[in-house]
Amino acid sequence: MTFRFTTAGESHGRGLVGILEGIPAGLPISAADVDIELKRRQGGYGRGARMKIESDHIEWLSGVRAGETLGSPIAMLIWNRDWDHWQDVMAPEADATPDPQGRRRQVTRPRPGHADLAGSLKYDRADARDILERASARETVARVACGAVCKKLLREFSVEIGSHVAELGGVTANVGAQHAAPLPAHINDVADQSPVRCLDKEAEAEIIRRIDAAKAAGDTLGGIVEVIALGVPVGLGSHVSWDSKLDGRLAQALMSIPAVKGVELGLGFEAARRKGSEVHDEIMPGFARATNRAGGTEGGMSTGEPLVVRVAMKPISTLMSPLKTVDLKTGGPAQAQSERSDVTAVPAMGVIAEAMLAIVLTEALLEKFGGDALSELKRNVDGYLAQVRARTPRGAAS
């Protein structure tokens, strides 16, 4: 069964749907496993009023019975509570008595940086709401739901994924995979205690000050999140074809998160500034590495070292002190639309990036090991790990 993942839904529509295909039968799962992740995504200092309205949780539509997956497509539904306020604006059926003034809550002043303008021209829409409703980062709630199921599967193989905010609003945390101080063993246990998911208390205080200042100025802030997967076995992905390379697949998946503009693995761009002797991770007895500057992939395959990915998010493009734009209706100069929005969503983006990482790793795991049932998948993984162990130099196996 080919692994597939998709989402449907608009920001102020009835709800969001996430669909996963190819998850083997027999994986224990409950709505609570998914809802925990949805709650984590809703948090973070700097979010707007919408998060006070929503209280995200899933309803299973298919693919799960008596607390276990069936091997059939898994569909999850998350209702939008805000729909109550948007039913007329977002109604699917044509209005029998249309308002002569035109549609309510139209958006005709596209926001620089948002999908509004390119989408309105491409899809030939007079109202940019037809674009922004789907371009909205609300869609990521369905990604996180699918990612939660994938995380549950990966945990069966001792793969743990966590993240923390490495930079926000120009403030850099003095903690991370490339810093001397060790990261906590369970990153999320610590990061989730911080209102901005930052592991450096001093940086956290300054980040909060900057979020408050940006809010007062009607501005927004971006930042960088570091996502780490521990316990990934050697050999996921492949060097043989461009589209089977794990690093390329991770970059695509993470770059697809709204407002993400950059993805780095390990040293990333910094590797380009160093000599080879200061970049590559020497191979020690037992195939261990003294360093992990590569960030867990070589030749498009996982190395067995922690997977370390940094994801950069631009500031949100809805500004309360708006930028210049052009009105789609009049063609004349205007101020971009300001709608209720967040000052920053970088802490939430970390949770979304964890989900996308989990989805890519699950796809790569299932592609390599196959299996219709979890028991079969486990046998296949165990057989492979025994084969790898047999190749590990004697007396030095980790």
- Which of residues 27 and 214 has its CB atom nearest to ligand EPS in the complex? 214
CB 17 within 8 A of CB 71: no
**Could you say whether residue 111 binds ligand EPS (CB under 6 A)?**
no
What is the C-alpha separation between 296 and 117, in angstroms, rounded? Answer: 39
Q: Of 127, 219, 327, 339, which one interacts with ligand EPS (CB under 6 A)?
A: 339
Q: Please give, one letter per residue, the 3-state secondary structure of 109-155.
A: CCCCCCCHHHHHHHCCCCCCHHHHHHHCHHHHHHHHHHHHHHHHHHH
Binding of ligand EPS by 37 (CB under 6 A): no
H or E stretch including 16?
strand 15-21
Under the criterion CB under 6 A, does residue 362 sit at the interface with ligand EPS?
A: no
Instruction: Give the span between the Cα atoms of 120 and 43, in whole angstroms.
Output: 31
- Applying CB under 6 A, the span of 96-104, 131-139, 220-228, 275-283 interacting with ligand EPS comes to 131-139
| 341 counts as binding ligand EPS under rule CB under 6 A | yes
CB of 296 to ligand EPS, least distance (A): 29
Q: Interface with ligand EPS by CB under 6 A: which range of 117-125, 134-142, 233-241, 389-397?
A: 134-142
Phi, psi of 5 (to 5 degrees): -145, 130
Q: Which residues pair with 78 in a beta bridge?
A: 16
Q: Which residue has its beta carbon closest to ligand EPS?
A: 50
Region from 67-75, 136-144, 160-168, 379-387 binding ligand EPS, contact rule CB under 6 A? 136-144
Secondary structure letter of residue 28 according to DSSP:
B
Smallest distance from ligand EPS to CB 211, Å? 15
Residue 138 binds ligand EPS, judged by CB under 6 A? yes
| Among the residue ranges 70-78, 132-140, 150-158, 301-309, the one whose residues contact ligand EPS (CB under 6 A) | 132-140
- Out of 18, 24, 48, 350, point to the residue binding ligand EPS (CB under 6 A): 48
Q: Does 130 bind ligand EPS (CB under 6 A)?
A: no
| Closer CB to ligand EPS, 69 or 220, in the complex | 220
Q: Is residue 137 at the binding interface for ligand EPS, with CB under 6 A as the rule?
A: yes
Binding residues for ligand EPS, how many (CB under 6 A)?
14
Task: Work out whether 344 is an interface residue with ligand EPS (CB under 6 A).
Answer: no
Q: Does residue 136 belong to the site contacting ligand EPS (CB under 6 A)?
A: yes
The DSSP code sequence of 238-299 is -SSSGGG-HHHHHHHHHHTSTTEEEEEETTGGGGGGS-GGGTS--B-GGG-BS--TT-SEET
Residue 210 binding ligand EPS, by CB under 6 A: no
**Closest separation between CB of residue 282 and ligand EPS, Å?**
43
Nearest CB to ligand EPS, comparing residues 141 and 171? 141
- Give the integer Cα–Cα distance in Å for 145 and 40: 11
Work out the angle at residue 273's Cα, subtended by the Cα atoms of residues 271 and 276, and round it to the nearest 5 degrees.
60
- The site string for ligand EPS over 70-89 (x = CB under 6 A, - otherwise) reads ------------x-------
Asked if 175 touches ligand EPS (CB under 6 A), the answer is no
| Cβ-based neighbours of 207, under 8 Å, separated by 6 or more | 45, 165, 168, 169, 171, 196, 198
Helix axis angle for 346-369 and 374-391, nearest 10°, is 80
- Closer by beta carbon to ligand EPS, 113 or else 231: 113
CA atoms of 308 and 176, how far apart (whole Å): 10
340 binds ligand EPS per the rule CB under 6 A:
yes
347 binds ligand EPS (CB under 6 A): no
Q: What is the DSSP string of 65-94?
A: ETTEE-SSPEEEEEE-TTHHHHTTTT-SSP
Residue 7 lies near ligand EPS (rule: CB under 6 A): no
The Cα–Cα gap between 159 and 360 comes to: 13
* Residue of the chain from 19, 131, 141, 187 that contacts ligand EPS (CB under 6 A): 141
Q: Does 188 bind ligand EPS (CB under 6 A)?
A: no
CA distance 66 to 26: 10
State the minimum distance, in angstroms, from the CB of residue 328 to ligand EPS. 18
Residues that bind ligand EPS (CB under 6 A): 11, 48, 50, 54, 82, 136-138, 141, 318, 339-342
